[in-house]
Amino acid sequence: MSWKDTYQLWENFSDLETELKDELKSLKDDSHTLEDAFYAPLEFGTAGMRGVIGAGVNRMNAYTVRQATEGLALFMDSLGEETLKRGVAIAYDSRHKSPEFAMEAAKTLGAHGIPAFVFESLRPTPELSFAVRHLHAFAGIMITASHNPAEYNGYKVYGEDGGQMPPKEADALTAYVRSVENMLEIKVLSKEELESQGLLTIIGEDVDSEYLENIKSVTVNPELVKEMSKEMKLVYTPLHGTGKMIGERALKNAGFESIYLVPEQAEADPDFPTVKSPNPEEPGAFEYAIKLGKEVDADVLVATDPDADRLGIAVKTSEGYYEVLTGNQISSLMLHYLLTAHKEAGTLPGNGVVLKSIVSSELPTQIAESFSVEMVDVLTGFKFIAEKIKQYESDGSKTFLFGFEESYGYLVAPFVRDKDAIQALVLIAEVAAYYKKNGDTLYDGLRRIFYDYGYFKEKTISISMQGITGAEKIKALMVKFREEAPKEFAGIAVNCVEDFSTSKRTLQDGTIEKIDLPKADVLKYKLVDNSWIAIRPSGTEPKIKFYIGACDDSGVEIERKVVLLEESINALVNE
């Protein structure tokens, strides 16, 4: 069926939502936009789906949400009656249409007799992960587009352990979603029918209080927090998202008193009016926090993204200005403090393990090893960290201490099985208090870590390739880097090539080793100076990402090295 045929089906569908019908009328003469909206279904992958809100099969709307949920319901149907009875927890963030999409999911599940536990109002993604476990639900649905611009929304599915579904289950779910041929004809129940049949439970403070009770376990040294509760000043911005209610309560429960919310960004707002992008990775997201930080002389500025699963910070330097740190630097500070505090308290387990993605910094590996703690690398995607936690919980072989990804995601305590910015908020406040007590800033702490372990610097280059031809360009680039594998980057020889799609590691002398990880479309080049380059297509956006990880003994030289490596990558891409 051509995109025009699909468009005609929508245009002629009498029960189409009025808002979508009006949008199609306004686009009647805009064939370019219509083609983009109807040329292919919005891709449902291992991380769910994400797209611009609007009419069409390639957009986020009530019908694409129903299709995804119908796939989940069919998957649950195949597993039997007991699975259906356990139901699905549903949460949503502050974006346009999030409450409506959450209810559409519940109405679709209801048509299959599957109960839905829907939060009364917006909640962070990590609390949804917690709710799945707490309620013993079979799955969870989170309506969010993370840190994407205001015109986006998205849909993520969580498994019964509270983590995003691992590949085997995700592939089965995706097959069911794709088997739904006409999203316009999916049967749904009304909200009234859900209520009368006992298929809708509204949840809220009952789950909040349990989640917050568990957050208390994140604090390692309560006496330190008590001592520094007023002295350590923290500015927090939830960037118009879900973090305010839970985050502020979590900090107060931990004992912190000098907390300053950025007033212009404290309230939920789907238009994110004060930022170009509600992304704590972007220095621009800290503009208002820096202004308030200077006014109150704050020790640390903290920002969470709209669904509060990612966290960024800015730290005060000796010159008095605030510097935004990377996710790898934040992870290094957190991990160094955690291991130090546990060692001092005598609570560092002999079988402790830290988990990180293959595109994250090697600095935390050096830190972990110095404490005789094992670092285990997993594929990109927090679901792989969750999968390992589940394995260790089952066999008792290791004790989880910390997990992180370079993309500003961290997990301290495994009562959640996804990245958790609320946990990270409480921990980074304690880390700042630790350095404050010793007369230092977090910036001083990071410099000391570099002095002890060497200089590490990372950079991610994201290249967007939008539209119909974007996916093909991304595939072609991956083929090029596989078939014409570079021998060097910026004059630094490649020591080995890891191709995770074939699970093969090829050494400089031609020796081939097996990589003991699931297959994934990722390439990693390890260089002779212990720097590295990784390449992977994004799982949720039309982007290809290049990751640079450089290390050196000199702080000046490492800056130069990253620039040269980036120039080398750009030259290869544009050949």
11 Rama class: left (phi>0) / alpha (psi -120 to 50) / beta: alpha
Q: What is the DSSP annotation of 436-504?
A: HHTT--HHHHHHHHHHHH-EEEEEEEEEE--STTHHHHHHHHHHHHHHT--SEETTEEEEEEEETTTTE
| Burial classification of residue 426, based on how many CB atoms lie within 10 Å of its CB (0-12 exposed, 13-18 middle, 19 or more buried) | buried
Q: Is 146 a catalytic residue?
A: yes
Kindly give, in sequence order, each residue whose CB lies less than 8 Å from that of residue 504, ignoring residues fewer than 6 positions away: 498, 512, 513, 514, 515
**SS3 labels along 150-196:** CCEEEEEEECCCCCECCHHHHHHHHHHHHHCCCHHHCCCCCHHHHHH
- Residue carrying the six token digits 């991380």: 47
H-helix or E-strand spanning residue 203: strand 200-203
Side-by-side strand order, sheet with 152-158: 49-52, 152-158, 139-143, 88-92, 116-119, 200-203
- The active-site residue, picked from 129, 146, 361, 531, is 146
Torsion of CA 115, 117, 122, 125, to 10 degrees: -100
Beta-carbon count within 10 A of 563 CB: 14
CA 105 vs CA 156, 194, 309, 436: distances in Å: 12, 12, 22, 47
- Residue carrying the six token digits 């990253």: 562
Contact 99, 182 (CB under 8 A): no
Give me the helices (H) in 229-300, please: 243-254, 287-296
**SS3 labels along 309-352:** CCEEEEEECCCCCEEECCHHHHHHHHHHHHHHHHHHHCCCCCCE
Q: What is d(CA 200, CA 214) in angstroms, rounded to the nearest whole number?
A: 26
Kindly give, in sequence order, each residue whose CB lies less than 8 Å from that of residue 12, ignoring residues fewer than 6 positions away: none
Which DSSP letter does residue 552 get? E
- CA 300-302-305 angle, to 5 degrees, is 170
H-helix or E-strand spanning residue 118: strand 116-119
Beta-carbon count within 10 A of 347 CB: 10
Provide the token pair at 520.
């994934």
Length of the chain: 575
491 Rama class: left (phi>0) / alpha (psi -120 to 50) / beta: left
What are the φ and ψ backbone dihedral angles of 502, each rounded to 5 degrees? -115, 0
What is the pairing mode between strands 455-464 and 488-489? unpaired
Active site residues: 146
